[in-house]
Structure 1
Amino acid sequence: MDFQLIHTDAKSSARAGIITTDHGLIETPIFMPVGTVGSVKAVHISELKNDIGAQIILGNTYHLYLRPGLEILRQGGGLHKFNSWDRPILTDSGGYQVFSLSDNRKLNPEGAEFRSHIDGSKHFFTPEKVVDIQRIIGADIMMAFDECTPGNADYNYAKSSLELTEQWLDRCLKRFAETECPYGHRQTLFPIVQGCIYPDLRKRAAENVASKEADGNAIGGLAVGEPTEKMYEMVELVNEILPKDKPRYLMGVGTPANILEAIERGVDMFDCIMPTRNGRNGQIFTKNGIMNMRNEKWKDDFSPIEKDGASFVDSLYSKAYLRHLINVNEILGLQIASIHNLAFYIWLVKEARKHIIADDFSLWKSKMIENVTRRL
């Protein structure tokens, strides 16, 4: 993987760049739709490409390991061939999923023992195994195995958790250096900066990660319960340390406003389940604010979902029709909402890129945050 920094905004740390992988180019800042089990929920591959404009999607190591399983993925030629997505893929290491199974997992220096959320069967992830799984999945960008520390963790827990993550990172990097992609394309491994909300731990973690000289770096353990301002503070601190010539990926974040604030602080890559999950629950993000499509006020509003919107569904369907579909639990409603929200998120980061290159990002961002946080 290669990264070229194209431009940095004159009045902020916002950056525009290009990531080059064997499956294509990624223009940053970028938002990556989440395809946890090998598909972005309710969205067809052709819609992701042509209507939404996704340049890269995510898969998840934990979920794909459980279903369909490694043998099927191997026989299928990796996830790119299995799901017919010929553009870049990034895989989460499964660390967050193991974190979310707090009642059904045990951590020790060797790895993480957990029980499947599907059938209760027992499994054990080591850093080496997580690298091997991601090799078989075939992701262009792989994540190091880490412990995602809760946002409200006390200092001693966060410190011991970071020490474990750092030990696991060294083992991941060693295993990565010893192995190759079984499908012939280049793969890369991103370390993850942890440290909860404690500045000294985040500084230590960022310095350690920077010393590894990886192709890119991730910031994890944020948007997991800590105050929003603490998240921004940690992002700013970490990005002062992480190398400027490598892409920075803020994992699992977030709202449109979160993304714009993080871009201003120097983040290049984002993912979040919010556009699809919230869309399936009737929440629509637009350039002028947020709509709850279950509200009575949209019942007889026959105007487009969004005027001059980012996707074909915006002008094709009315607010009244989308409200009807969502209220009767029609699958088409979930599809329309998911397509719209993903297209909006990707439109947002593309607009951010334009304004970074034009050196007026901060001015545009201030106005846009007012719009996207408004309740309609």
Structure 2
Amino acid sequence: MSGDGKRRTILLVHPGAELFGSDRMLLESAIGLVESGARVVVALPSSGLLVNELRNAGAEVVIVPMLVLRKVLLTPRGLPRLFRDTFRGLGAAWRLLGRVRPDVVYVSTIIIPEWPVIARLKGIRTVSHVHEAEASGNRLVNGILYSPHLASHRTLVNSRFSLDTIRAALPALARRSHVVYNGVASPPHPVSPRPRTDGPLRVLYIGRLSPRKGPDLVIEAASRLHAAGRAVDVTLLGAVFEGYEWFEHELRAQAADAGVSVDFAGFHTDIWPFLEQTDVLLVPSRIDEPFGNTAVEGILALRPVIASDSSGLREAAGGYGTAQLVTAGDPDSIATALTDIDTRWDEMVSTVADSRAEALRRHAPAVYRSSVTAHVLG
């Protein structure tokens, strides 16, 4: 409610309708705002699994055309679609803002650049929530991508790493940015690790099957252990982007050539049953990650975690006795960490509860929801 007792209307805008990291954070933001008593309307460019979750949380959902910046649009073949989506998105955004008449517009991610500008032109308070950060990327390109969000009155970022990346590219935006660590859901009573790693060591990867995310490194590390006489079973929980089917074919061929058991489990919204059945979770990203929800989920599930020692993954997985950080892009480092965890299994099992307690303190969804709500409504 506002100071005059009027119920506030908040329009949330998000570039997809799946249930990966930023999608889940959008859902948590919506839940927090609904719980505050606000009317929450969420604009998406398409339908998907996220829609029902939002409606179950009490939000309204509208599907509207919008410009979503994808690399394919920045190619000669993609330019006609870029121009089309730009003009269609401008009109759709202007009309929706006029129809919904929100008190605040919350723009989720930097890849829907029209919304902060249009909302500002309409005189509406605007909050951007940045979930992307590539410090290794070109600073000029990063600055261009971040610049539309200078139109927002406030910017939220999900890690110190993200804030530093913004500061290097666009200091003016960094000065009005605030760090809000992701809230990560957890089962109330996760299943304890098995007492002994008898039989194959069970390893899990969760995420997009993408070269950037490094699932091939998981298979390569497993092949190192396999060659040394230690059996490893790998589960890849995720799917490819449309157009990247070739990469899954390569992963299957790699596993067959190495003689490693790999279960291509596909995408599942409920990851916890897979974590129950694994020994170690791997988060082997080659590229910068603004944060690392998956690493935190592994810790909350009482499982040892191996993550790349880079970017926001350091903030997500650092400081836990049951998480190891390894050189990004190096399968030998991953194989060494797997061997170390396997060798020290009794110690790992005895300390996973302490790691979970610390993760709950850092990343409770309730803390995230209240923080986002305060920034949006404040």
TM-score by length of 2: 0.34
Greater RCO structure (CA 8 Å; 6+ sep): 1
TM-score by length of 1: 0.34
